[in-house]
Amino acid sequence: MSDVIKDLSELRLSYEQGELHEAQVSDNPHLQFLNWFNHALTANLHEPYAMSLATANTQGRPHVRTVLLRGATEAGYDFYTNYDSQKGLDLLQNPVAELLFYWPSLERQVRIGGQVVKISEQESMDYYHKRPRDSQIAAHISTPQSGVIESRELLQQRFQNLQNQAQTDELDKPEFWGGYRLEADYYEFWQGRPNRLHDRLSYEKQNGLWSIQRLMP
């Protein structure tokens, strides 16, 4: 077993990939996001649609985890989960959240914040039935999500039992599972730069229009 690294102070990289200037970005932050997101897709990054989702309960205790972006429109940014999960409980109490996309090989990250609402039951059903069969089964048996289970073997047994029962029948979407949409009211685009003088541009809505500001690194 290798020794534990005790000093991380000398580990650093210099960011050299690009620049971010006000004259080069879209006035519409969603279009700017799509520009960067499509760049990440065409660069064949590993799961560029993976994003950190930060929520907090009414006591202000934050929770963060990685989820997958499953829709991106002017209306908002969609993800799916178990409504009884920790994230679902947080959003029930405090329906605001923030997303973070980080694409290290491009030296870019995007923060998107806003109110979160449930998407329609029909949209959730449509997406559920697009999922692979085993993912549909997993949604049924993994409840309450984040709840304690005695062993991996018990989880596997639950999965196998439902897999055997539902070999031919179409599975209905569980009532406790579905989608959320983050309705953005804040964006921040970050481009790494040399000497830690990073470019950061934020978008905030004022009187129905987006204003762009440069932030200190």
Annotated binding site: 12-15, 65-70, 80-81, 87, 109, 127, 131, 135, 145-146, 190, 196-198, 200
Residue located via tokens 């004259």: 23
Binding residues for substrate: 12-15, 70, 127, 131, 135, 196-198
Helix 152-165 vs helix 133-141: angle between axes, to the nearest 10 degrees?
120
Residue located via tokens 């969609």: 78
Cβ pair 118, 180 in contact under 8 A: yes
- Written as one string, the DSSP assignment of 132-143 is -HHHHHHHHHS-
Distance CA 108, CA 117 (A): 27
Binding residues for FMN: 65-70, 80-81, 87, 109, 145-146, 190, 200
Instruction: Describe the chain by its helix, strand, coil percentages, rounded to 5.
Output: 30, 35, 40
